[in-house]
Amino acid sequence: MAVYAPAPGAATHEPHPRGDNYLTHSRGIMSWLFSLDHKRIGIMYMMGILASFFVGGVFAVLLRTELLTPGPTFSSSREAAWNFYNHTFTLHGAVMVFLFIIPAIPAILGNFVLPIMLGAKDVAFPRLNLLSLWCWFGGAIFFSYVLLGGILVAAGLDPKYVPGGFGLDTGWTFYTPYSTARATDGTIAALLGVFVLGFSSILTGVNFIATIHMLRPRGMTWFRMPLFLWALYGTAVIQLLATPVLAITGLLLLAERLLGIGIFDPALGGDPILYQHFFWFYSHPAVYIMILPAMGVISEVISAHSRKHIFGYNFIAYSSIAIALLSFLVWGHHMFASGQSPLANAVFSLFTFSVAIPSAIKVFNWVSTMYKGDIRFTTPMICAMSFLVLFTFGGLTGLFLGALSNNIHVRGTYFIVAHFHYVMVGSVLFAFLAGMYHWWPKMFGRMTNIFWGNVGAITLLIGFNLTFFIQFIAGSLGMPRRYATYPEHFTIYHQISTIGSYVMAAGLILLFLNLLHSLLRGKAAPANPWGANTLDWHCASPPPHDNFPVEPVAGDPYDMKAWKWDEPTQQWVLDEDRAKTVAGTEPTIHHH
Amino acid sequence: MSELVDKQRAAVAEMGDTFSPKRDHHVHPPHLAHHFDTPEQQFSSGKLGMWAFLATELLMFGGLFCAYGVYRHNHPEVFMYAHHYLSTFWGAVNTVILISSSFTMAWGVRCAQLGETRKLVILLALTLLGGFGFMIIKGIEYAEKYQHDVWIGAGNMYHKNYHGDHLPQEPPANQPDPTMDLSGQRAEGEPFASPAAEARGAVGGAGMAFEAGRPVPHDPNLPSPAAEGPQRLRRFGPEWIDPHAGTGDEARIRPTQVIPAGLAPDVVHQHEMELAYAQLPEFERDRISTFFSIYFVMTGLHGIHVLVGMGLIAWVLFRAWGGEFGPAYFAPVDLVGLYWHLVDLIWIFLFPLLYLIH
Amino acid sequence: MADPIQAVPTPGSGAHAHGGESHIASDPHHVHVVPMKILVGVFALLLVLTVLTVAVTMVDFGRTANVWLALGIAVAKAAAVALYFMHLRWDSPFNGLILISALFFVALFIGVVVLDAKEYYINYQPPITQSPQ
Amino acid sequence: MLKLSRTIAFSLPEQASTVAPDVDWLFHFILWTTVFFCILIFVLMLVFAIKYRHRPERGDESPSPGHNTALELTWTIVPTIIVLLIFFYGFRGYLDMSVVPPNSYDIQVKSWMWNWGFIYPNGHVDSELHIPKDQPVRLVLTSDDVIHSFYVPAFRIQKFTVPGRYNRIWVQATEAGEFPIYCAEYCGLNHSEMEAKVVVHETREEFDRWLEVASNPEMQPDFHPVKAGAQLAQARGCLQCHTTDGTASTGPTWLNLFGSQRTFTDGTSAVADEDYIRESIFYPARRITQGYPNTMPSYLGVLRDREVDWLIAYLKDISEHHQGDPTAPAAAKAVQAQPPPQ
């Protein structure tokens, strides 16, 4: 509660000499774990989230390997192999969704960048921010427990020594009655984890909304906000309105499983379809919790690295909000075959298509932004262009699934697997990487190696398409998903896909090694390595502890001309006069 | 303007860490965090944040109201029948208590704004008292239900997996010990295990294992319950026990006792209950436990919120005692107040929906 | 979306107009103190409505009518609490907007699901049990 | 050859139902829309990327438009029209799938972990779905345990089988032949092995003949009561709870059951003779073997007397307490050997 009016006396680290940055201004592990500095919290999020990304990735490679042949790959007995596969794909999904994709961009980049971009000293409620970080770790601990238990039991430990259950074989969707009546007890721990993670997400949302509303400095009108902030705002709205429903769903599922309350479990008169409504009311908007911030990142990166004013600012901004709101009207399209009434199906199908339009608007605007630009093929730009490719394809294949009659044929097959990987993984992952490479110099004051970064990105792009494009074909031929074994004639698809996954892994390893290398050997980064004009590039890299010694004055965030390339120093320098003229005046971008 | 900038420069130069008190004392009024410029800004941020949080609370309860809506929509008779177990009297009393505590809270905020610390402390104490009163009465209601096996999930006597676990050792006079027709299944134990317990055995098990609770053959062409003859028509009264008890699966899920005495002082006569129960379609009777599950989940979650609210009020009370609040700074009182009002607001809906079904 | 101008804080002027401690003690203009009369009035209203809601259940207006009546009274009570006890009436309109939109989405959720609720048990059949004879 | 073409072409399964052509038409319509827009975006992106790549000699004075309402409206309205079109055709196709023709033939589909059971109007239960060609067939789906999904790619139809309710779909086959049935909703351990096949008969007569033979094993050329009993045990799901290899399951194993001494929950005991077997099939609750739950459903009015006789014959055959007739074993063992219906 204290967060509303932070009382004095909460000092967590020593006073420090001036002129240093947020990384160095205080030392000791405690100064991190209890830091109220949004930048440090962002960095801590980064460590945790990247770790869980690694775990999820390992699961992905394992399950692709299991599918290399129709028969069992890792173990001699079919039963053991199927069991292994079911647990693997479930944990891959659960870890990737709840621990990686949902928090990735808002929690890491959002926390680090939002206040700086906005020109604020911190988020509105720093303690709430820290609490949400702890919640994330709390949830992560539950999942680690499930994971560990699963490994131990697989290694031959007697399950009775794993209180609260081991492993998870429900699929990340926890569909009843399987999750309530059949699945391993790991479900319980996992649900608790999801519940706690939900809080982390909600608190972040509260914080971002309050920050964007209350902490905008002079000149930062709504329509001078960088598009990344618009995207984060839309995301926060979804986090606020959808996540609580996930929380209550989790609670009811737990009660169903432990007490048998008979709300979801048909054996007790419950209704499994009701569960699906509950689940998707959160989990569809959750897809936009993933993609909206990604879109925001892309807007920043494309404009900055094309050295070009973003095209159609207002349309991109409004489309973010439109997507956020429409995302609540489409959850039923996950249930077209479940026995939902045809009326509901029709309505949900219609709204589903309506979401396609703002997405299309964004894509066209991004491409037009490149027109007459001065494009640099930096790693962020390569990632952003990959995003455009994958998002266009992922988005358009959504049309197959939105169309009722086609949905009936391809739902529950590899077609849908491919589709949501193109959108949730391809697009979001590449946007995430673009953002990481874009703001890395700001975070750590080190440049990354462009060549190896690009090599990694392109490898990843190739590997990704190798893995998932083929799955569209397999799916349209009727290869059901979540199959541990499959009919002979699908073997070739699975083998290509598996090889692709290895290539992906290679690309990712390259990309992260490159980041690591820049930490150790990278050359020092100037305040504004890209010549972008959003406020985050107006402060030093890495930023000082409280971001802006003097409160910045916001101008047109995409006015690239405000920065001139200075040959002697080999740096972008601010054109003071131009900055002045723009600052304080109404931005020109939105009257046309 | 420049003078402002200088001021800020000075401030920054002084800044130690985020919330170092000495910094605060130099350039900020007390309680003003470094990243805010004015108390107004901080106060409205707090309010905005609180409202955003309250919105999430509403959505969370929204899920429960949704479940309620679906089941009431699908089984109106069940709700009609089962709500007689809830005491309108206690419900109404609790409503009044909660409203009153809401009133004292609002009044308390007013006092905080006007700096009337002593009144503030008293009012907060009264509010806290209201919270206690509410929880005590809830406790009484729960306890009575528990004693009579009107409990959540499998602890409910109408539940398929009912064990009679919660029965008092000495069954009340004028009621036969329901365990009599439970003994049969007690000996067997296994088939009525809770879904969770069942799951352990059943992972990878065969289809039929699922019906452990209640067998369903793969073939639907069995004679329908109606056609099965009189032994399925059951009377509902204490003095009569099913001769086939223990043979079928239903003896164990059929309560043989009337409404627990004292549970519903104001309404029900056993006569009405018998009619109501007899009027329920056979398969609807299995849904009665669902009503109680919904009742306990909703009131339970609300109760947890009341407890949290009480904790917060106690915290504010403590700070008010220390005289921290006044016209300049009363955000915590106001925000805790908002939370407390929301708890009240939710109960305002729970009361008619659960207790006053007509 | 709140009106940009209204939502933009003007920190400079903030610290400018009344810098330092001085203004804090003096009347904080951003606060609205609810008159005692209103508080008591609302409290009384709530009590009356509580009695009313119990009373109407004694009368039979038909099942659905009774439900809507009870809900209507509950909404009235909730509105009173929100507007006066929770200060919404004098508060920044955006906070009101938050509440409204939250309620809207709750309504959407419940509405759509209940709209489809009939589907669930429209063809429900009781599990057939054995007849031990 | 077919296999090869499948592995290389972005194609759909063979069309074997009346709705398939519409679905495929829409599929290809969307496919080409997708291809068009993808190419449009990719080409534009690449052209811009190359044409406007950074070149030191080129100053950055190039005028750059920040906005163009006409364009914005274009790429708002055009996609709107296209998606509305797709929605319309998709919905129309869906209506065709969900509105069942009046004169349709009813078959009930049961699913349980991890098998399919198909119940024909005459009460015959089979592990394969047989339907006549050019005749609308209504499938009433339900599940005994968890949610499964009945999916026939060749028919382009899919529907969840949900416990506690009945879902309905219909299909009119246009091709005779055999097509795979998959479970397309994750349902636990052997989800990926929960397959069955649908057999489309050329004519209604052919189908009726099949049904008659299938439901009256005596009419089969190599009929033997033991074999019939074994098949029955398979099709009626007896083997879901009773093993034939001596391991205990939900119910007592059938191996050596016949003629053995049974002890019941009420303390009494008896020898498992024909009468006992018959009683425990029709009135399972009367005498429960100790250590086993009282969960077996009654098959009174479900199994015909001679079917019970076959089951008894089968039990005798796999029990050492009874010296079965020498002709039987081979046939029965053969049936036992084959895995559950896929």
Question: Chain B partners of D123 at a C-beta cutoff of 8 Å?
Answer: 219, 221
What pairing do the DSSP bridges indicate for beta strands D137-143 and D105-112?
Answer: parallel
Question: Chain C partners of A344 at a C-beta cutoff of 8 Å?
Answer: 112, 115-116, 119
d(CA A231, CA A478): 37
Q: How confident is the model at residue A39 (pLDDT cuts 50, 70, 90)?
A: very high
Q: How confident is the model at residue B11 (pLDDT cuts 50, 70, 90)?
A: very low
Choosing from D161, D193, D215, the residue where a domain stops is: D215
d(CA B4, CA B59): 44
- For tokens 């002593």, name the residue: B118
Nearest CA among A108, A106, A195 for reference residue A143: A195
Question: Chain D partners of B188 at a C-beta cutoff of 8 Å?
Answer: 265, 288, 293-294
Question: Chain C partners of D283 at a C-beta cutoff of 8 Å?
Answer: 130, 132-133
- For tokens 């009240």, name the residue: B344
pLDDT single digits (tens) A550-590: 888 888 888 888 888 888 888 888 887 776 655 544 443 33
Please say whether the beta carbons of A293 and A109 come within 8 A: yes
Please say whether the beta carbons of A201 and A282 come within 8 A: no
Choosing from D161, D196, D215, the residue where a domain stops is: D215
pLDDT single digits (tens) A218-255: 888 899 899 999 999 999 999 999 999 999 999 999 99
Burial of D226 (0-12, 13-18, 19+ CB in 10 A): buried
Instruction: Supply the DSSP string of A341-394, one letter for each residue.
Output: -HHHHHHHHHHHHHHHHHHHHHHHHHHHHHTT--B---HHHHHHHHHHHHHHHH
- The CATH number of residue D282's host domain is 1.10.760.10
Contact A248 B64 (CB under 8 A): yes
Nearest CA among D92, D340, D117 for reference residue D231: D340
Question: Chain B partners of D236 at a C-beta cutoff of 8 Å?
Answer: 218-219
Are residues D209 and D293 located together in one domain of the fold? no
Contact C105 B62 (CB under 8 A): yes
State the pLDDT at residue A25.
Answer: 81
State the pLDDT at residue B28.
Answer: 57
Q: How confident is the model at residue A74 (pLDDT cuts 50, 70, 90)?
A: confident
Contact C113 B39 (CB under 8 A): no
Are residues D244 and D178 located together in one domain of the fold? no
**How far off is chain C from B165, nearest CA to CA, in Å?**
24
d(CA A221, CA A230): 12
d(CA C46, CA B100): 9
Are residues D114 and D207 located together in one domain of the fold? yes
Please say whether the beta carbons of A435 and A227 come within 8 A: no
What domains can you pick out in chain B, each with its CATH number?
38-175+258-358 (1.20.120.80), 181-256 (no CATH)
d(CA B98, CA B302): 12
- For tokens 């009311």, name the residue: A281
The answer, yes or no, to whether residue A398 has pLDDT greater than 90, is yes
d(CA A476, CA D24): 10
Which chains are adjacent to chain C, needing at least 3 Cβ pairs under 8 Å? A, B, D
State the pLDDT at residue D255.
Answer: 86
* pLDDT, mean of residues B183-203: 32
Please say whether the beta carbons of C102 and B58 come within 8 A: yes
Query: Can you read off the two tokens belonging to residue A52?
Result: 């869980």
DSSP label at residue D196: E
Q: From the list B4, B215, B341, which residue is nearest C81 (CB)?
A: B341
Is the predicted ipTM greater than 0.95, yes or no?
Answer: no
Edge-to-edge, what's the strand order for the sheet holding D125-126?
A: D125-126, D115-119, D105-112, D137-143, D167-171
The answer to whether B205 faces chain D, any CB pair under 8 Å, is yes
- The answer as to whether D117 is a domain residue is yes
What domains can you pick out in chain A, each with its CATH number?
23-582 (1.20.210.10)
Please say whether the beta carbons of B237 and B277 come within 8 A: no
Residues ≥6 apart with Cβ < 8 Å to D41: A363, A367, A388, A389, A392
DSSP helix/strand/coil, A328: helix
DSSP helix/strand/coil, A189: helix
Angle at A241 between CA A240 and CA A246, to 5 degrees: 95
Range from A109-118, A570-579, D270-279 carrying the lowest mean pLDDT? A570-579
Highest mean pLDDT among A6-15, A179-188, A408-417, B78-87: A408-417
D164 versus B228: the higher-pLDDT residue is D164
- The answer as to whether D255 is a domain residue is yes
Q: To 10 degrees, what angle do helices A342-370 and A379-402 make? A: 150
Are residues D176 and D241 located together in one domain of the fold? no
* pLDDT, mean of residues B332-355: 95
The answer to whether C3 faces chain A, any CB pair under 8 Å, is no
DSSP label at residue A181: I
* pLDDT, mean of residues D90-110: 90
D56 versus A234: the higher-pLDDT residue is A234
- Mutating which of A41, A170, A182 best tests the B interface, going by the most B Cβ atoms within 10 A? A182
d(CA B70, CA B335): 34
DSSP helix/strand/coil, D88: helix
Name A144's bridge partners: none
The answer, yes or no, to whether residue B257 has pLDDT greater than 80, is no
Choosing from D154, D189, D215, the residue where a domain stops is: D215
Q: What is the CA radius of gyration of chain A?
A: 24
**How far off is chain A from D231, nearest CA to CA, in Å?**
25
Question: Chain D partners of B248 at a C-beta cutoff of 8 Å?
Answer: 285
Please say whether the beta carbons of B18 and A39 come within 8 A: no
* pLDDT, mean of residues A86-93: 93
Query: Can you read off the two tokens belonging to residue A207?
Result: 């914080």
Please say whether the beta carbons of B209 and D250 come within 8 A: yes
- The chain A residue lying nearest C13, using CA atoms, is A218
Kindly report the pTM of this predicted structure.
0.83
d(CA A570, CA A568): 6
Angle at A145 between CA A139 and CA A150, to 5 degrees: 135
* pLDDT, mean of residues B242-257: 36
d(CA A89, CA A71): 17
d(CA D231, CA D314): 10
Are residues D200 and D251 located together in one domain of the fold? no
Arithmetic mean of pLDDT over chain B: 69
The answer, yes or no, to whether residue D316 has pLDDT greater than 70, is yes
**How many distinct structural domains can be found in chain D?**
2
Please say whether the beta carbons of C105 and A324 come within 8 A: no
The answer to whether D192 faces chain B, any CB pair under 8 Å, is no
- The chain C residue lying nearest B112, using CA atoms, is C33
Range of the domain at D172: 11-39+75-215
DSSP helix/strand/coil, A247: helix
Are residues D244 and D142 located together in one domain of the fold? no
